[in-house]
Chains A and B, each alone.
Chain A
Amino acid sequence: MIFQEIPLIPGGASRVVCFSSGKGGVGKTSVAINLGLALVEKGRKVLLVDGDLGLANVDVMLGLTVRTTIRDVLERGDDPMQAVVFPEPDFGVLPASSGVPEMVNLGPEDHDQLAGVFGSIAKAFEYVLIDTAAGIGPSVLWLNSLADYNTVVLNPDPAALTDAYALIKVLHREYRREIFHLLVNLVRDEREGIQVCEGLAKVVRKFLGISLEYLGSVPRDPEVIRAVREQVPFVRQRPGCRAAGAVRKLADSLEAWACLPGGKGESGQNYA
């Protein structure tokens, strides 16, 4: 665990990006981690929050040693910044706990406290990426309500498509979210990603009356599987692989949206 004094970003407001999927196993956590690291390559300070509050994933995928979790912060009042782990100097991870069912059903008081925790830590980062649990449970929905940018991750699988639509529907109907960004993982190629997005966007427009923004896609890549097994992010392990290139393009898209000052490589590409 590496501690680091984090200076406040002068005058900046963090951009909060939430990654949810509906269906589990679409590769949401892997994408969130690698996208975070791609943003760090652009000179950004990034915090990745493991929003799967009772079944931590992020620390496992990064092979991190965790001593303090979000639960410890909530229950013992531990200093939130002491809970942040830094796999790299500008990339912090706020870990969740594992095997704690009550963390999945937090009430408004806990949510208020957690929002305060996020707010206090977020000041030190330009991006706060929240990787939620799968499904449409209360904490998934609440974390999405905090976000500036709701990203729905899916793959071309019909079940993932249906669950992604269900997630969008619930967030739109019950939380009045109007704008969703789609990220299609495990595609053959970009064309398949666009087709999946267009198909879903058509249904969303017809039944919910809102539009979807296409953030981009990440191709199926055997290098990713190898990197996941080795608990190393693929943008670091295999920086030249197709998936790493795709994630860097996603980072460009996010940067174009966020319009934060500074950073590197601000070309941005519009995938909407």
Chain B
Amino acid sequence: MEKGLHLAVQCPVGKQDCPLGAELVRLRQECARLAEMVDTDSLTGLHNYRHFLRALDREMERTRRTGLPTALIMIDLDHFKNVNDTYGHETGNEVLCATGALWKGNIRKIDTLCRYGGEEFGVILPGTRLHRAVRTAERLRRVLGDSPVDLGGRSLFLTASFGVDVFEAGDDDSIQAFVERVDQFLLAAKAEGRNRVCSSTAAAEPEPTELSQEERRALLGDST
């Protein structure tokens, strides 16, 4: 619901301090709050799983129509159970909130960061090719490692594992299949030792098409 909409309420008969008008404002505010809650993870304030699915569906459709790929990063905090077991669930919740806030400040405005569930997060990157998405994942991994959580004087260093892949215009995956595809890379990151980013082999910088100096020399007669 649009913010400020409640300011537009006017009593139809022009009465000042109209009780119905006030109730309408209250109801609108409550609707706006509930609408936000439906899409928001109550702990971290990030988007929730429900919003994640809707946003991903929308971006995949945009990909089909525009040709620009949608990238997806699936993230799982490493050894998070140990954090809960060692420091308690309250601290675990603080860690999740701090991590969410940290990563939110390290993605673009057009990207969607969601708490997928538990200690798992998802980042939807519209119009993003694979190698850029991998660079983003590396940045999130690095910034997490460089930003210990302050536990009342003690520092808790965290790591996470990342899976990255893209949905392209010619793909025919469903949302679930695409998420599953990215999850496989996340599992691979875990299996390979955690604290890393895994993606398809195509994630290296795309094979360059720019002509090299060698090619230019060969074309213009300075053959090697």
Contact = CB atoms under 8 A, between A and B. Distances in A.
B218 A108 contact: no
B211 A165 contact: yes
| Range, interface on chain A | 10 to 19
Interface in A123-182: 158, 161-162, 165-166, 169-170, 173-174
Interface stretch (A49-57, A200-208, A222-230): A200-208
Given A108-B169, A169-B209, A173-B209, A207 B65 contact: no
Contacts of A170: 209
Contacts of A107: 65-67
Interface in B210-224: 211-212, 214-216, 218-220, 223
Given A107-B66, A108-B65, A108-B67, A162 B209 contact: no
A199 B215 CA distance: 12
B67 A173 contact: no
Contacts of A111: 67
Contact of B207 (A108, A173, A200, A206): A173
Contacts of A108: 64-67, 169
Contacts of B211: 162, 165-166, 169
Contacts of A173: 207, 209
Interface string B190-224: 00000000000000000101011011101110010
A109 interface: yes
Contacts of B65: 107-109
Interface in A202-243: 202-203, 206-207
Interface string B148-168: 000000000000000000000
Contact of B218 (A109, A158, A169, A207): A207
A127 B41 CA distance: 59
A162 B64 contact: no
Interface of B: 64-67, 169, 207, 209, 211-212, 214-216, 218-220, 223
Interface of A: 107-109, 111, 158, 161-162, 165-166, 169-170, 173-174, 199-200, 202-203, 206-207
Q: Which 5 pairs, one residue from A and one from B, show the smallest C-beta to C-beta distance?
A: A108-B67, A203-B218, A170-B209, A107-B66, A109-B65
Given A108-B67, A161-B219, A207-B218, 20 more contacts: A107-B65, A108-B169, A109-B65, A109-B66, A161-B220, A162-B216, A162-B219, A165-B211, A165-B215, A165-B219, A169-B209, A173-B207, A174-B209, A199-B219, A202-B218, A202-B223, A206-B218, A207-B212, A207-B214, A207-B215
10 contacts: A111-B67, A158-B220, A165-B219, A166-B211, A199-B219, A202-B218, A202-B223, A203-B218, A207-B212, A207-B214
